[in-house]
Structure 1
């Protein structure tokens, strides 16, 4: 059995020293300690990737605390399951938890349930936020492109800017902008059609 260690910090202000010291005190050799830390806005996982390549069946990975192994509970559970499939146990020093044997299976089951609960809670919060935003009139989804031709056609028919904006679901200021631009210079597209609309017309008249 070989002992490996893993340490990770999640902010640039944190230090790896305390975790590394704890791993060494538990018997992990310095050349078998792998570390990761944040780099700007991203997390460098080179250390974890190397650890995954090095460990073999019967090895034990030591980590100071539960939250140091993965970015979140779901990530941690996935890693524990991956190591378990290789016959590698993970021991969390401060928490007194090891993932092998019957107790280990129970730990994985509990952590999996926690991860599922976290995902559900995030989903509920996201949905609540979207509902609240909708009540405030905030729209979601990709912003629709402006059909300049429709704006100008409605304008030629005598439709007012407010009504055009309502019918096309765009801002009234956008209506004025399209109308003003049409008076100043020709449209970039000769027939005022959007590319997708042009393709549709070609296909329609070609009887495809």
Structure 2
């Protein structure tokens, strides 16, 4: 059985959502799980339902890799869960079908290349930061809590609790404790 999964990040992406549903139905998906939720922070309940729903011999179909996984690690975890259930994965835009040895190879290659690209990007970022630090152009993120030292101290003297101070000023509670310790 072909089981589809469609996802867009926002409700405003209705055309993209409808296109995914259309493509999944044209591939013969008998059941489609669909959600409109960001993959970054939100829990993808329909993806979980789809993975729980599929049975041995089924194929989970997605239109694009980024509709399924947040990262290479996330992809590998999802694929591992599917493999444990003897379920295949088909990614339409890449023509990858993990029910064949070639499809599994392609998926591993794509995952390895994505991981490689990420590591190269991080290495370049580190080099850039090191160079900027050497030229005294990189100072890091401005310390937001330390700029509010006088507010933290005055609110504490007025009888406010550290948790309330942190909420009121939008800083971490540990920052409030650190500022109060330094002020003492």
TM-score, reference length from structure 1: 0.58
Displacement after TM superposition at 1:132 (Å): 4.4
- Give the 3-state SS of the residue equivalent to 1:104 in structure 2: helix
Distance in 2 (CA, whole Å) between partners of 1:64 and 1:108 is 14
- Give the 3-state SS of the residue equivalent to 2:75 in structure 1: helix
Identify unmatched segments of 5+ residues in structure 1: 147-173, 178-187, 189-193, 199-208
- Aligned Cα root-mean-square deviation (Å): 3.5
Does the 8 Å CA contact 1:90/1:99 hold for their aligned counterparts?
yes
Distance in 2 (CA, whole Å) between partners of 1:78 and 1:115 is 15
1:84-131 CA distance string (max 9 Å, x none): 222110112233220123223312321231132132023124313422
Partner in structure 2 of residue 89 of structure 1: 88
Structure 2 counterparts to residues 1-208 of structure 1, below 5 A:
2-15=1-14, 16-29=17-30, 32-38=31-37, 42-134=41-133, 135-140=135-140, 195=181
Displacement after TM superposition at 1:141 (Å): 7.7
Displacement after TM superposition at 1:7 (Å): 0.9
Q: How many residues align?
A: 152
Distance in 2 (CA, whole Å) between partners of 1:45 and 1:59 is 20
Distance in 2 (CA, whole Å) between partners of 1:8 and 1:91 is 15
- Give the 3-state SS of the residue equivalent to 2:123 in structure 1: helix
Does the 8 Å CA contact 2:96/2:107 hold for their aligned counterparts?
no
Distance in 1 (CA, whole Å) between partners of 2:74 and 2:120 is 16
Larger radius of gyration: 1
Does the 8 Å CA contact 1:77/1:108 hold for their aligned counterparts?
no
Distance in 2 (CA, whole Å) between partners of 1:7 and 1:195 is 51
